[in-house]
Structure formats: structure tokens, C-alpha cells
Amino acid sequence: MPHGGPPLKPRRWWASLYVQVLAAILLGGLIGHLWPSFGESLKPLGDAFIRLVKMIIAPVIFLTVSVGIAHLGDLRAVGKTAGKAFAYFIVVSSFALVVGLGVANLVQPGRGMGVDPATLDPAAVADYAARAHETTVTGFLMNVIPETVIGAFAGGEILQVLFFSILFGVSLAMTGARGRPVVALLESVSEAFFKLVAILMKAAPIGAFGAFAFTIGRYGIESIVNLAGLVATFYLTSALFVLVVLGAIARASGFSILKLIRYLKEELLLVLGTSSSEAALPSLMQKLERAGAAKPVVGLVIPTGYSFNLDGTNIYMTLAALFIAQACGIDLSLEEQLLLLAVAVLSSKGAAGVTGSGFITLAATLAVVPSVPVAGMALILGVDRFMSECRAITNFIGNAVATLVVARWERALDKGALDAALAGAPQPLAAPSVQRDAD
């Protein structure tokens, strides 16, 4: 009996969220394929579920970060943790760009298509190009600071909420004993919000069903045939990146990437069904805390990682850019590819973990590299939705790995709780207390 409570009752297999979401995806795909119009009409189900989750993301981040920082004895640890997280983000996500570039040169999925750039319709991607043009480094940095506190929460801007949460948590820690009643109140509210997360997750199968039925109904499975080489190359590259690169990082940090994937299987299916990693953000934070990662580390790394640590998006950007160049018969020199890589390093850091962001950052990158026509993005517009799912899954796994790695660096990881969680042991409702690593 864990923690002296009543014995855990074995769950029926059909009551598992994993089974329910998987069944919903399969059923949604079947309906979208057999009755495309009806499948398209189910889009509101997916949209409604994503809106339900996004409704609670800002409060969950605020409560997790502010309470976690308030409990820290040394506020210098906040800057130290953030510094280590950003160092990890820069190295690993930049390496993902290099991997995409290398695979594109090796496989050359666009070679031989013989597309005339003059025949491409720039209007098809005009909206993405316009939004990318508005995305500047200065504008992105200024947007981190909310105009008002309420505005940050109302707009659902992750980085704005994180920025305020860090400042508020620091102020609570500096207040000392007089701030403890506020911290206690926020902890109670936090418990209520995570209970709300559990309630909302019961609607996950419905959301995944509607979103996947729409995707198959609108775009059709057959739409990927003409560009199957690109899609297959991207999926295989992302899988190898997760298993080899992230797997090596995980192994060096004392855990198995395969066991972590199994531990997060419900969330990964939810990301697959909705094509958005944000749909599983609150549940990911809760599960990583249960797996022994300290609350302040989870609160800092996960929200920032959703904008700065997008491994799947980075692989996609360089791979897709070279695919367009190859399809149009454009041979990029080494200097031009290095320029593309440098621009992608900057433009990729402002992407958010939501559907379509990879396409926007790709447009921002190509806009600065004149050799590759932005209109060439129309070639992959039809299959971008299918690649969006793979981007979201890879981003999601990358941020889970980053959190555990940074927690271990900070000696803020309960190795016993992590091993138990990854081994499939029953998890308590509350996160375990964190014991600092001895190594």
C-alpha cells in the first residue's frame, strides 16, 4: 500500500487513457478516409479540446514556477538553472539543425522533381510569409515582456507568463516569512488546478478523434504519396534523432529514452492526435514532477523549452529548405548552406509549440536566404500537416529529456522516483519530495 493509503485497484485495459486515445485516433482516421466531408466537420471537437487545455496552461505555469522559486533557499539557483537550460537548448537544438542539413544533402529527397520556380503560386503561402516577416529578433524579445499582467494570462503567451511568474516567485522568496501564507495559498490552488488537468484529460480521446478525422478528411492519406520521400525522410530522421542523439544524452544522464517514451505514451498519443505539443504540456509537467524532477526545474525548463528547444522543428526547417532548393534545381554552395544554418539558429528560437509554427519559421528563414524561393513552400504545404505531427512529438520528447537532464545537473532529481516511474510503478497523486542526487 503506497504511502499508507488504500490498495490501488487494477484498472481495466479499456479505461486506460492510452488505449482510449489510440482507439480515437484510429476511428478518426477511418472516418476521415471513408467520409472526408464528415471528417472535416469534426474539426471543432479537436479545436475545443485544445482550447480547454490552453485555458489552464498559463495558471499551471504561474503556480508551478512561482511556488517552486519561492521555496528555493538561494535565488542564485534560479539563474543557474536557467543558464544550464539555455546552454542545453542552444547545443542540442542547433545540432538538430545540422542533422537536418546533413540528411538533406545525403538523401536529397527533392532531387529530380524539376520544378520551375516561376510556376509556383506565392499566394498559397502569402499568409505564412507575412507572419514570418513580422517575426524579428527585437520584436520577439520585446514580446516577452507583457504590457499588463492580466494581458499575459489573457493572451496565453507562454513566455510572458513565465517572465512574470519568475519575477513574482523571486519577490515571494525575498518577502520571507510574511510571504509564506501566500505560498501556502498558491500551493492549494495548484493542487486544484492539477486536479482540473486530470478532469480535462478525460476529454482527450474526443479531441484526438475530432482532430485526426479532420486531418485525414481534409488532406487525405493519398496526399502524401507524391511527397512520400520527404515525409519518410523526415520521420526516419526524427526517429533516429530521438533514439540515437537524445537516447545517448538520456543514457549519459542515467535513464533510458525508451522507458521515458513508454512513461509518456498517453501524452505522446495526445500530441499525435492533436498535432500540438501544447495539448499535453500540463500533463507533462505533472508527470515529470512525479518522476522526481524538482518543481522549480520543471517550471523553468518546460515552458522555455516550448519556445527555445524545438528539435523536431529544427530538423524540419533545414531538411525542408534543402528539399525546396533541390526540387527547384537550385544547388546551394557550402557558404549558402552555412548562411541558411545561421539564420535558422536565430529564427527557430522564437517558434511556439503549436500547429503551423514550423511552417512560419521556415518562411522566416527562407526570406533571408534569397537563393531559395519562399514560394517553394507551396510544394510542401499539402503534407505539412502530416510532418507537423512528427515535429510536435519530437519537440515534446526533447523537452522531457532536457528537463530530466537539467534536473540531474542541478542535483534536483530523485533518482529513486525516476527509476520507479520509468519502471511502470504506480504513481502517487502528489509529486514525491526531491532528494538531491549524490553523484
What is residue 434's predicted lDDT score, i.e. its pLDDT? 42
Residue 430 counted as domain residue? no
d(CA 26, CA 352): 27
SS3 for 293?
strand
Query: Highest mean pLDDT range out of 16-25, 82-91, 152-161, 296-305?
Result: 82-91
Predicted local distance difference test score (pLDDT) of residue 261 = 94
Residue 195 binned pLDDT confidence (cut-offs 50, 70, 90): confident
Per-position b or e across 184-199, b if 16+ CB within 10 A of its CB: eebeeebeebbebbee
The C-alpha cell that represents 290 in the structure block: 512525479
Inside any domain, residue 435: no
Report how far residue 342's alpha carbon sits from residue 317's, in angstroms, rounded to the nearest whole number. 12
Position 68 scores a pLDDT of 78
User: Higher model confidence: residue 125 or residue 265?
Assistant: 265
In a domain, 340, yes or no: yes
Higher pLDDT, 34 or 381: 34
- The 3-state DSSP class for residue 26 equals helix
Q: How far is CA 42 from CA 16, 28, 200, 411, in A?
A: 23, 9, 19, 46
CATH of the domain at 216: 1.10.3860.10
* Residue positions counted in the chain: 439
Is residue 315's pLDDT more than 70?
Answer: yes
Distance CA 56, CA 62 (A): 10
Q: Please identify which residue in the block is written with the cell numbers 488504500.
A: 6
Q: Is the pLDDT confidence value at 8 over 50?
A: no
Q: What is the pLDDT of residue 125?
A: 54
Provide the whole-model pTM: 0.75
Q: What is the pLDDT of residue 409?
A: 93
Q: Which helix (H) or strand (E) holds 61?
A: helix 43-70
Contact (CB, 8 A) for 336 and 369: yes
What phi and psi, each to the nearest 5 degrees, are found at residue 382? -65, -30
Model pLDDT, residue 15: 63
Tracing cell 518562411 back to the chain, one arrives at 363
- CB atoms near residue 414 (< 10 Å): 23
Grouping H, G, I as helix, E, B as strand and the rest as coil, residue 267 is: helix
In a domain, 436, yes or no: no
47 is written with which cell numbers? 479545436
- DSSP one-letter code for 73: S
pLDDT over 50 at 111, yes or no: yes
How far apart are the C-alpha atoms of 35 and 38, rounded to whole Å?
Answer: 5
Q: Which residues pair with 413 in a beta bridge?
A: 293
Decide which of 242 and 371 is more confident. Answer: 242
Residue 396 pLDDT greater than 90, yes or no = yes
Number of domains in the chain: 1
The cell numbers describing 2, all together, are: 503506497
- Residues 6+ away with beta carbon under 8 Å from 274: 46, 49, 50, 207, 208, 211, 355
Identify the residue with better confidence: 427 or 228. Answer: 228
Please indicate, yes or no, if residue 3 is contained in any of the structural domains: no
Contacts with 26 (C-beta within 8 Å, 6 or more apart), sequence order: none
* Residues 123-166: tens digit of each pLDDT: 555 555 555 555 555 666 677 788 888 888 887 777 788 888 88
- Residue 263 belongs to domain spanning: 14-422
In a domain, 87, yes or no: yes
Examine residue 1 and state whether it is found in any structural domain, yes or no: no
Q: Which of 388, 349, 347 is nearest to 366 (CA)?
A: 347
Q: Residue 432: what pLDDT? A: 42
Q: Do the domain assignments include residue 437?
A: no
